[in-house]
Amino acid sequence: MENDNELIANALNGSLQAWEALVRRYEGRVYNYSLRLTGNRDDAMDLMQDVFLGVYRNLARFRGESQFISWLFRIAHNKAVDLARRRRANPVKDQALPDDPEDWPDDQGVDTGPQALAMDAESNAGLQLLLQTLSPEQRLILELKVFQSMTFDEIAMMQDISANTAKTRFYSALKKLRALMEGHHELSPDP
């Protein structure tokens, strides 16, 4: 099996086969990343395609100084931030909720009603629903820390913030997720 650098070199020389092999190697991680951030399959596919388009366009700039996966996820991070900005410009689809659940308005574009929250938080669908009620920044920091297993220093560098700020954001995101889950269990009938 060819390593990443060989596939990249061949793709840059015009080999479609090498490019597809490179995509197949990482598409699963990028797709699941996109799914957690966007909350639905269609948007996840769009984000994933956008990420790989960005990767291909910038492939000649990859110097091999870092791991390809790290470089790829920097592009994915930028695309996710762009998407969050676009959604913020169109707040009907996505809007951050206040920290206190009592302050949540009824219509946030995300179904947070009792039936929706009655879904099992341990399933992907239930977790996606919970994640969609977080702000894009909170969702992103949970993604980078929990799923991408980045260190706080790496996250700080990627987001141009201090490591302490990254830790505080992570703590706030986790706290809000827990508050959502507690609300969910309060609404769910006791077994």
Partner 1 sequence: MSCHQTPEIVADHFDSRLSSQARQTVQQHLAMCAECRAEIARLTPAQDALLQWQHESVPEWDRSHAYVHAQAHAAQTHRQPLPKRHAGLSWRDAGRWIPLAASLILSVAVLTQTRLNVTEQGWQLSFGNTSGEAQLQQLDAYMTAYADRQQQQTEQMLEVALGEFGDSTADTLVQLADWFEQQRELDIQRMEAGFQQLLDRDYQTVNSVQQLASYVQYQGDLP
| Site for partner 1, rule CB under 8 A | 11, 16, 19-20, 23-24, 27-28, 31-32, 35-36, 41, 45, 48-49, 52-53, 55-57, 121-124, 127, 130, 142, 145-147, 149-152, 164, 166-168, 170-172, 174-175, 177-178, 181
Q: What tokens does 145 get?
A: 């820390």
Copy the structure tokens of residue 140: 């992103």
Q: Smallest distance, Å, CB 107 to partner 1?
A: 25
Under a CB-based contact definition with an 8 Å cutoff, are residues 95 and 109 in contact? yes
d(CA 14, CA 61): 16
Shortest distance (Å) from residue 104 CB to partner 1: 18
Residue 133: which of 153, 158, 116 has the closest Cα? 116
Nearer to partner 1, 88 or 159 (CB): 159
Token pair, residue 74, equals 């920097």
Give me the least distance between CB of 26 and partner 1, in Å please.
10
Q: Which residue has the tokens 């560098």?
A: 157
In this complex, which beta carbon is closest to partner 1, that of residue 20 or of residue 186? Answer: 20
Output the smallest distance, CB 53 to partner 1, in A: 4
How many whole angstroms separate alpha carbon 9 and alpha carbon 147? 29
The minimum distance between CB 16 and partner 1, in angstroms, equals 6
Among residues 56 and 104, whose Cβ is nearest to partner 1? 56
Instruction: Give the torsion sign (CA, 136, 33, 90, 120).
Output: negative
Judged by beta carbon, residue 100 or residue 122, the one nearer partner 1 is 122
Cβ atoms 135, 120 nearer than 8 A: no
Of residues 15 and 108, the one with the C-beta less far from partner 1: 15
